[in-house]
Amino acid sequence: EPSNSKDEMGELTNIFNDMMDQIEHSFNQQKRFVEDASHELRTPVQIMEGHLKLLNRWGKNDPIILEESLQASIQELERMKKLVQELLDLSRAEQIESKGSDSSALLLKTIQQVIKNFELIHEDFTFKLEVYGENLDNPLVQISENHLEQILIIILDNAVKYSDQIHKIDISLEEENGMVKITVRDYGVGIPDEDLSKIFHRFYRVDKARSRARGGNGLGLSIAKQLVESYSGEIYASSTLGKGTSITFTLPLIENR
């Protein structure tokens, strides 16, 4: 029957289209996974390299450097291991699953550790941490320590990369309505007003030529935004062209220890 075979053809076409959609979807997912994975592993690899070079140069004769650098390397390796596992989980789950109220991180300790690692891989930069208000003695915030490190690394990586003559980065903390505000300020090239809201979009770069010279893909801030928002936080930027940029993100404050 002609009408029947037409139905069958139609059904076959639908099945075929669905299948192609699924293949395309899983292809895009894999592509995204590879992009995100390479972005997130870049800095930890650099940090590990920094510690190993330090060990190689001085650690053999200096027991303090030996101990410190070995500890830091092991810690960074642990972090990378978790990161890889998480990226794999993520690619399966398709989205960051909020860890909800059961995860917490000591904000000061985590920031200090990330700063130390950045001082190692960027010796020509100065990182300053300032805490405003007595409400923030030793804040415990609602996020997993790994995610917090990931966000800080993404923002600090940019701050360093888009600095110009002034190699100084200020990190400040303050409390506001039960949230902790973390601001990373640099004195670099800045971002034009019209681009400010777009820098959190995937693959968005302000000046393609400029960013490519500095090796960017436009991925960092979109990953940071996804992470921050999965913990009910917000992330935003303010900037003056040629003067510098501030990136601020908020996280729920659990308590002060």
Cα–Cα dist 53/121, whole Å: 10
User: Which residue has its beta carbon closest to Mg ion?
Assistant: 220
Choice from 135, 217, 230, 238 touching ligand ATP (CB under 6 A):
217
160 binds ligand ATP (CB under 6 A): no
Which residues fall within 8 angstroms of residue 130, CB to CB, at 6 or more apart?
170, 171, 172, 173
Q: How far is the CB of 202 from ligand ATP (least distance, A)?
A: 8
Q: Is 250 in the site for ligand ATP (CB under 6 A)?
A: no
Q: CB 127 → ligand ATP: shortest distance, Å?
A: 14
Closest CB 5 distance from ligand ATP, rounded Å = 52
Which of 215, 52, 50 is CA-nearest to residue 122? 50
- Window 34-53: contact mask with ligand ATP (x via CB under 6 A): -----x--------------
Residue 204 binds to ligand ATP (criterion: CB under 6 A): yes
Closest approach, Cβ 34 to Mg ion, in A, equals: 17
**Separation CA 4–CA 2 (nearest Å):** 5
Could you tell me which stretch among 73-81, 107-115, 135-143, 158-166 binds ligand ATP (CB under 6 A)?
A: 158-166
Among 47, 48, 169, 191, binds ligand ATP (CB under 6 A): 191
Closer of 148 and 221 to Mg ion (Cβ): 221
Question: What's the sign of the alpha-carbon dihedral 190, 131, 74, 70?
Answer: positive
Smallest gap, in angstroms, from Cβ of residue 71 to ligand ATP?
A: 28
Q: How far is the CB of 205 from ligand ATP (least distance, A)?
A: 3
Q: Which residues make up the interface to Mg ion (CB under 5 A)?
A: 158, 220
Query: Residue 39's binding partner, choosing from ligand ATP, Mg ion, none, with beta-carbon cut-off 5 to 8 A by kind?
Result: ligand ATP
Chosen residue from 179, 206, 235, 253 binding ligand ATP by CB under 6 A:
206
Binding stretches for ligand ATP (CB under 6 A): 39, 158-159, 162, 186, 188-191, 199, 204-206, 211, 216-222, 245
